[in-house]
A and B are shown apart, each in its own frame.
Chain A
């Protein structure tokens, strides 16, 4: 007797359902996709008990006539593919014809639909895949699908559902994702009779982003628009400085379909480059349009993952699109909670960028009271970290710096902000009336320096507010770009050492240097291994003023080491970054001239708004915020 049987339809549908319908959110996704495909302009979703009791999706789309209404429960019945080639030209969501029969096989399914020109609609009721009744019925044009008791006949699956709140979160996220590419469609979501959101149709996506993500993030999203012969990219990316600890908020759509695509993620990573710390993910919403031929959406049953035929090109395009935007963007604007002290604000900003923190948002209510671990190293008193604008300004620095006269008697009581008056008139400082949320300052060159705070921050006046620059981070950025550029041009100069320095390192660190010597060389270091754990430094980059080359090398390596090991595949940028951070450890009070020179150099930077590790170099406090703090408005 033969043992191989063709499965009865009811079972095969259940198996398909197992793949497609993981949880109530999948149902919402499948149904809403159908609604979008039907040309609806208004889609309303209603959920009860996390979708287990009820999911209903109502749209005003094309609707179905009586025959289709019955046909759609047949497996692989679809209106979207008619012939073989169509499968490579998929622009609609659904196409396999699996969704409705699958859902119907595991729920009590009611379909009410009417085409716009029909006089009466149809109601179909299916339970566990069996059609119970079908009858004409009066209803609004469009389609309404009501699903009750999902998983009533697959108790195992039902058991694996998470808490109602978790399922609700999934549904909400899923609907948000679906709605992002379609600002022209109104979406509504109700849960247990309560309205979760209602996002009216609009020409642009901006109001929807505000509704979903709040204005804090939405205001700091920068529009992206890019296209070349193969791909067009639109959407929004977070101003640098906003990052999350997971990729969840990197929402990527290919031809309108929310997907996970490694090629795009890589492009995002490369595009932000050094602006974002490793392990941090800036939120983005990106819509890619590519020739359907170039993308395979038929990889995953839930169509979540896609593959590109030329993934390298996709990565490059995304990277370029993001870079273009970031290059022209200004620094993040800080919203100041008027009940906080300025120090907390500065620290708050700092911690917001620290890795490890969970659920970071660009707000200050968390964490700012914690002690700082990463206080910048206090400067060696007579070291001048910043190059003066003229080489000869440094002459006899030894003495000039060391023979500092006794601070005058007011020294002890001097507030940290120096009172030296700037030599420019503050005419640019008049605030425009009712300035907008965002401060945009045109360039670092136009900033008027007020003074210095705690030998760490440069305070400046911009056209509509105060700008605070972290001199340490700024210097790192300046040096980093210089080094990389010089390395690219092969114009790196190194100062050879009269007294070479030997450095003791761990075995893996020494091995790394030995193996990747060319990286160090292209940055201007000349290091040679003397043994398993000893290296000798013969030359350092000319731009480094450190006299102790050994410390620089050590600090660099400690920056490169991860989990006690050095990744052998580190690139030039990583090593350059480490070297800048090592080189700028010591810094000291700047003169106005030095600060101005730094700002001029910042102005020439490609990405001046953050240090190579992704911390911001600049924050803005607008007059509006100051007025808020002083209770003027």
Chain B
């Protein structure tokens, strides 16, 4: 393998692929980036055996070939180069000469044969989104994914397609975030798949302003493709809980909430709280929403916003972080708070297909 690439492009490509590389892999080759020079292209690939990321950049290839180079070192090296072009020349021992301007390195790689080859993949459905749109979807829900991987299915995002509507769901069992969107294109079978949180986060990293992303789902794998980058991931097997069941069929009260003011007051009042077992109480009455917080070590605080509400007085307590999350991740000005009483699930809607359901806390 012998080629010349633009330093800028190589650096960007490495940033895209090296995030999944862990520091402690049992297989040394998994700490390396696979370099493949074919035609006038350089293809970079990394994998942690769960996820495989591939990106393609243009290169002037003098001799086609493959090798692997330690990911961290080559990333550091390229990021510190100051000249525009990087020249790579790999010998049969997988020693790669790396030259940029006056800098001259030789890096010891591992044979490309050791690098795991991709598994066969047969997509059964394909969904296309604008990259921007899909990034929004992931932003709006991924914070609600369970961090506890002992309940495997909740450690991912449910991607469901039905009646030409794409639904993404994340929940940790205490709150649930859901987005419904109509994709640009859809082909194949309807159905549910669960994408691991880690893969969704990798996908978020590569999504850009322009362009489209194609999501292809197979039985056990999925492939996400954007311009120049391909993420290949295992899916979480199992049945996602029936989330529709927990969304109340109807609400007796609904209130418009100004997003910016709400989050500002919520954060303000929460200063009176110390630990995460604390709660914030919302008191609804007389066209006011009061925020009340108290802790034994700090003291207490309260504030309110004006709302449109003249129903019965209602006290309802929440984990403040759970309450703040949807407001922080929405770009609407207003959200609709829907509720029935102090202890049943409460919903937040932003009108663009986003729905958040949260369980109140209860004092015993």
Q: Tell me the A residues contacting B by CB distance below 8 Å.
A: 380, 382-384, 387-392, 394-399, 401-403, 405-409, 411-412, 482, 490-499, 501, 521-522, 524, 539, 541-543, 545-551, 586, 597, 601, 604
Contact = CB atoms under 8 A, between A and B. Distances in A.
B358 interface: yes
Given A406-B72, A498-B171, A396 B148 contact: no
B106 interface: no
A392 B148 contact: no
Contact of B362 (A384, A403, A412, A494): A494
Contacts of B144: 398
A498 B174 contact: yes
Contacts, number: 157
Contact of B361 (A493, A549, A601): A493
Contacts of B154: 547
Contacts of A522: 364
30 contacts: A380-B149, A387-B275, A391-B319, A391-B320, A392-B270, A395-B325, A397-B147, A398-B142, A398-B144, A398-B147, A401-B147, A402-B201, A406-B21, A406-B72, A482-B277, A493-B363, A494-B361, A494-B364, A495-B174, A495-B359, A497-B174, A498-B171, A498-B357, A499-B243, A524-B364, A543-B275, A547-B147, A548-B146, A549-B173, A586-B148
B172 interface: yes
A607 B142 CA distance: 40
A383 B147 contact: yes
Nearest to A397: B147
A494 B319 CA distance: 10
B224 interface: no
Nearest to A380: B149
Given A397-B147, A495-B319, 15 more contacts: A380-B147, A384-B147, A390-B273, A391-B276, A391-B321, A395-B328, A396-B325, A396-B329, A398-B142, A406-B19, A412-B24, A496-B360, A498-B246, A499-B241, A547-B173
Contacts of B276: 387-388, 391, 394, 543, 545
A396 B143 contact: yes
B274 interface: yes
B176 interface: yes
A542 B319 contact: yes
A493 B317 contact: yes
B279 A542 contact: yes
A135 to B, nearest CB: 81
Interface residues of B, number: 63
Contact of B72 (A388, A395, A409, A539): A409
Contacts of A389: 274-275
Contacts of B321: 391-392, 394-395
Please name the 10 residue pairs, one residue from A and one from B, whose CB atoms are nearest each other, closest first. Answer: A543-B277, A387-B276, A547-B148, A496-B359, A547-B146, A547-B172, A411-B23, A407-B23, A387-B275, A548-B150
Contacts of B174: 495-498, 547
Contact of A396 (B267, B275, B328): B328
Contacts of A402: 197-198, 201
Contacts of B75: 406
Given A391-B276, A498-B359, A403 B201 contact: yes
Given A391-B321, A496-B359, A498-B357, A541 B277 contact: yes
A382 B21 CA distance: 16
Nearest to A405: B19
Nearest to A522: B364
Contacts of A492: 363-364
Interface in B142-162: 142-151, 154
Interface string B263-299: 0000100110111111100000000000000000100
A548 B364 contact: no
Nearest to B21: A406
Nearest to B75: A406
A438 B291 CA distance: 50
B105 interface: no
B18 interface: yes
Nearest to A384: B147
Contacts of B270: 390-392
Interface in B51-91: 71-73, 75-76
B342 to A, nearest CB: 11
B324 interface: yes
B343 interface: yes
B345 interface: yes
Interface string B222-244: 00000000000000000001010
Contacts of B24: 412
A615 B44 CA distance: 51
B325 A495 contact: no
Contacts of A543: 275-277
